Amino acid sequence: MSLTAAVVGGGPGGLTAAAALHARGVDVHVYERGEALREQGVGMHLGPNGTRLLRRLGLGPRLAEAAVRPDALEVRAFHNGAQVAVQEMGEAWERQFRAPYLTVHRGDLHRMLAGLLPAARVHTGKDLTGFREGPDGVLLDFADGTTAEADVLIGADGVHSAVRRAVAGEDAPVYSGNSALRGLVDAADVPGLDPSRMYMFAGPAARALCYPVSGGRQFTYVVVVPAAEGDAESWTSATDRADLDSVLAGWAPQVREVVAAAGEVRRWALYDRAPLERWSTRRTTLLGDAAHPMLPHHGQGANQAIEDGVALAVCLGEADAGADGTAAALRRYESVRRPHTTRVQLGSRTAQPPGKEEKDSMANNNGNNINNAAANVNWILDNDVEANLNNNNANNNRNNVDSNNNNLNDNAA
């Protein structure tokens, strides 16, 4: 019997899961709370662990047009812009990790993923108010009075996930002590920055990262600053450009170009949540920020959601529609993903761009420290969750064949 799946949430993680399930013949529908399927925000990082999966979904050519493969990350002195260290990326990282490291506008990636699904599979204006699991499936209730049924429910509804609360109970956000000021500027307005490279400026009380998106036509900037705790977890709180100007007063000319070119500035209070002890019931599971909201210091939030989506599709693509089949698939998915994302999530709490002491150390060691810092996340960038699951399937099949052969030999004897 064919499996049916309901994905609640139309962000990158939910759309990746839906696209990967659709490619495997699963009858999948996406239910998005917003009245239109769109993604706000600025730029994002796609590590090789994410891009290799997106390429397999058929997005390679579109990523090549809209994203940027940075040649290098430059660390520069915050006060005068002098180069302190360089981490080569580009072709070197693509060879090392078997896929490129890319930077892309969130809206561009969102449109690519949405394009992998038939329009009839995506339903907007669907605000989930509750759901009930039964012996034959899950019944979803929406605020507009409509319902939907599926064999399995996938909660991809973000950091304020209603599905998470139902599965794991209420929990409190954990504030990092920092917030991020961020936005977009046109590359033509910041001539001091090369749109083929990423830049980090580490000051005594703030850190600024600039990286190209939109095929190199724009830069995303992210300035991390200590801040009093905000009122709520939010990606899109507006702030005044004067806040950006005051934080970066007296910084390098390249940074001042960014300030001068900045239009709308958004403040992102940096929260995460404690890792969950479980993600799933027999017919319901979580992915992405609904499962493991994390701080941005590893640049892995979207990548881990993409990994979740593909891993879940691999597991469910082999399951039958019965409760035992879905429960086994969700147990397998969670057993693979939860330990890995917990490690990434907790590592993101302690990973910080270099401050003054680290900057001085890198200058004295010809940049070796930045290379060492990059090596610390090799295990993240090198991960191929799809291949790992498929290899496990092959090993299990070989073990079953060997066991059957042994049984035949025993019977023949």
Q: How far apart are CA 109 and CA 90, in angstroms?
A: 20
Specify the residue for token string 């150390």: 361
**Which residues does 253 contact at the CB level (< 8 Å), separation at least 6?**
81, 192
Q: How far apart are CA 284 and CA 163, in angstroms?
A: 8
| 214 backbone φψ class: left, alpha, beta (φ>0; ψ -120 to 50) | left
Which amino acid, residue 258? V
Catalytic site includes residue 221: no
Q: How far apart are CA 124 and CA 56, in angstroms?
A: 27
Task: Determine which one of 31, 199, 211, 221 is catalytic.
Answer: 211
CB 187 within 8 A of CB 220: no
| 288 backbone φψ class: left, alpha, beta (φ>0; ψ -120 to 50) | left
CB atoms inside a 10 Å sphere around CB 30: 27
Which amino acid, residue 146? T
CB 205 within 8 A of CB 27: no
Extract the tokens encoding 329: 């698939």
Catalytic residue IDs = 211
